Amino acid sequence: MVDIATRVYNHKWKIDPIVRSLIDTDFYKLLMCQSVFRNKPDTNVTFSLINRSTHIPLADLIDEGELREQLDHIRTLSLSRGESTWLRGNMFYGKRQMFRSDFMEWFEQLRLPAYHLERRNDQYELTFEGSWPEAMLWEIPALSVLMELRSRAVLKGMGRFELQVLYARAMTKVWEKVERLRDVDSLKIADFGTRRRHSFLWQDWCVQAMLEGLGDSFVGTSNCLIAMHREVEAIGTNAHELPMVYSALADSDEELAQAPYQVLADWQDEHDGNLQVILPDTYGTEGFLNDAPEWLNQWTGIRIDSGDPATGAEIVINWWKSRGEDPREKLVIFSDGLDVEKILELNTQFEGRVKIAFGWGTLLTNDFRGLVPNDALAPFSLVCKAISANGRPTVKLSDNPNKAMGPADEIARYKRVFGVGEQEAVEVVV
């Protein structure tokens, strides 16, 4: 029996919106947003789309009108009553009322600020300017809209059964990964795949597959909307944008050198336990750890998000030891470019030496490699970053020179201030 009402309701949509909720975003964006709302609410920040995969001609693939429709739709969104209730009432990382009332009242009123979109040859220039807590919430929806519009562009020409078989193959691929991972009892894996997902429905499917297939090894998803719907943990801590903006705001080299620690000092005013996770690579992991204040020794864990992950883990284990900490009590989170092989390899290598968790992103929620001609659905490296704060450019170095960003002279200054020497280049796939 056809559900007539549903069909008629669906036909009323002018477009098929990709992002339908302000909490269809990563949990850590909301945590960081609350932190920024408290500590730096008046900072003016510009976020910008950066397509690191320049061989993907986004502006040829995606119609500008369709992109505008999707972005305009996101600007109509506001927090729903149920979403607000969930954020206010749910337990996150074992804690109730993670989000304070003043933040929630602000969030309930929020509409995302204007965007600036312009075609530049075969790419789009897409920027978001505004107060930091507002502009920052564009990052994830902007990326997921672009990724899904690109998927739709490729899928447009396919027949009904071709499509069904495409998804059949993709499902098989994900499930085969789940089956390989399910045999390892000790694993702890979360979905970190919102920003570069194939589509919303596909990410939702992947989360459910992990939920059924991995049992306790699946610890949750970074996506708040999916966490709410599927009743799983919302996962995430903090990201590079905090030290990048804090650093851009520094008025001297001395202040700059302290900025990344100031971020974490502000953070520990609000968070403890498994939310005290250091992201040390913004300006080079080794320098960051060597100069770290004593109070960081007590933090729970470190997230490794660039460079060779095994090397990074050895560095942080040695650092903990040098600070008199027992690494077996500490948590290492791997979150950069993971797939099954790498997850299993890292787990074997570090099991028993440190607690381990994996934030599995693009190659969980967008592994359509090899499924269509010319690999037209293969994921690619698209990011949306804070590029300036109060008119000053931001800089990111990371542990991989291929991920560095910012003006050349500022990069040179940051390298000097943070004592970054030679770095090993690692190819950035996703």
Select 38 or 169, whichever has its Cβ closest to a copy of itself. Answer: 169
Q: How many residues does the chain have?
A: 430
Q: Which candidate, 168, 121, 115, places its Cα nearest to that of 142?
A: 115
Closest distance of CB 29 from a copy of itself, Å: 29
Select 217 or 423, whichever has its Cβ closest to a copy of itself. Answer: 217
Per DSSP (E only), the strands in 261-354 are 277-278, 301-304, 331-334
Burial of 167 (0-12, 13-18, 19+ CB in 10 A): middle
Strand partners, 95: 92
Select 3 or 326, whichever has its Cβ closest to a copy of itself. Answer: 3
Is residue 22 within 8 A of residue 134, CB to CB? The reply is no
What secondary structure does DSSP assign to 380-415, as a single string? --EEEEEEEETTEEP-B--SSGGG-BS-HHHHHHHH
User: Encoding tokens for residue 394?
Assistant: 């931001």
Select 129 or 191, whichever has its Cβ closest to a copy of itself. Answer: 191
- Helix axis angle, 200-214 relative to 160-182, nearest 10°? 30
Closest distance of CB 151 from a copy of itself, Å: 18
Sheet containing strand 44-51, strands side by side: 115-120, 123-131, 44-51, 382-389, 392-393
Closest distance of CB 218 from a copy of itself, Å: 12
Select 80 or 262, whichever has its Cβ closest to a copy of itself. Answer: 80
Select 215 or 273, whichever has its Cβ closest to a copy of itself. Answer: 215
User: Encoding tokens for residue 300?
Assistant: 């729970």
Closest distance of CB 171 from a copy of itself, Å: 4
Is residue 390 within 8 A of residue 222, CB to CB? The reply is no
Closest distance of CB 1 from a copy of itself, Å: 4
Q: What is the rounded CA–CA span in Å between residue 311 and residue 193? A: 24
Is residue 419 within 8 A of residue 287, CB to CB? The reply is yes
Select 163 or 412, whichever has its Cβ closest to a copy of itself. Answer: 163
Closest distance of CB 79 from a copy of itself, Å: 23
Sheet containing strand 218-221, strands side by side: 218-221, 189-191, 355-360, 331-334, 301-304, 277-278
Q: Which candidate, 210, 192, 215, 188, places its Cα nearest to that of 331?
A: 188
User: Encoding tokens for residue 340?
Assistant: 């099954």
Select 164 or 311, whichever has its Cβ closest to a copy of itself. Answer: 164
Select 29 or 197, whichever has its Cβ closest to a copy of itself. Answer: 197
Closest distance of CB 335 from a copy of itself, Å: 24
Give the C-alpha distances (Å, rounded to integers) separating 251 from 179, 258, 420: 52, 11, 20
Strand partners, 356: 332
Closest distance of CB 360 from a copy of itself, Å: 17
Closest distance of CB 211 from a copy of itself, Å: 8
* Positions in the binding site for a copy of itself (CB under 8 A): 1-3, 5-6, 9, 159-162, 164-165, 167-169, 171-172, 175, 208-209, 212-213
Alpha helices in 77-196 (DSSP H): 81-89, 101-109, 132-135, 139-155, 160-182
Closest distance of CB 167 from a copy of itself, Å: 7
Closest distance of CB 169 from a copy of itself, Å: 5
Select 161 or 251, whichever has its Cβ closest to a copy of itself. Answer: 161
Alpha helices in 183-284 (DSSP H): 200-214, 224-230, 241-249, 253-270
Strand partners, 383: 50
Select 13 or 161, whichever has its Cβ closest to a copy of itself. Answer: 161
Q: H helices then E strands: how many in the chain?
A: 18, 11
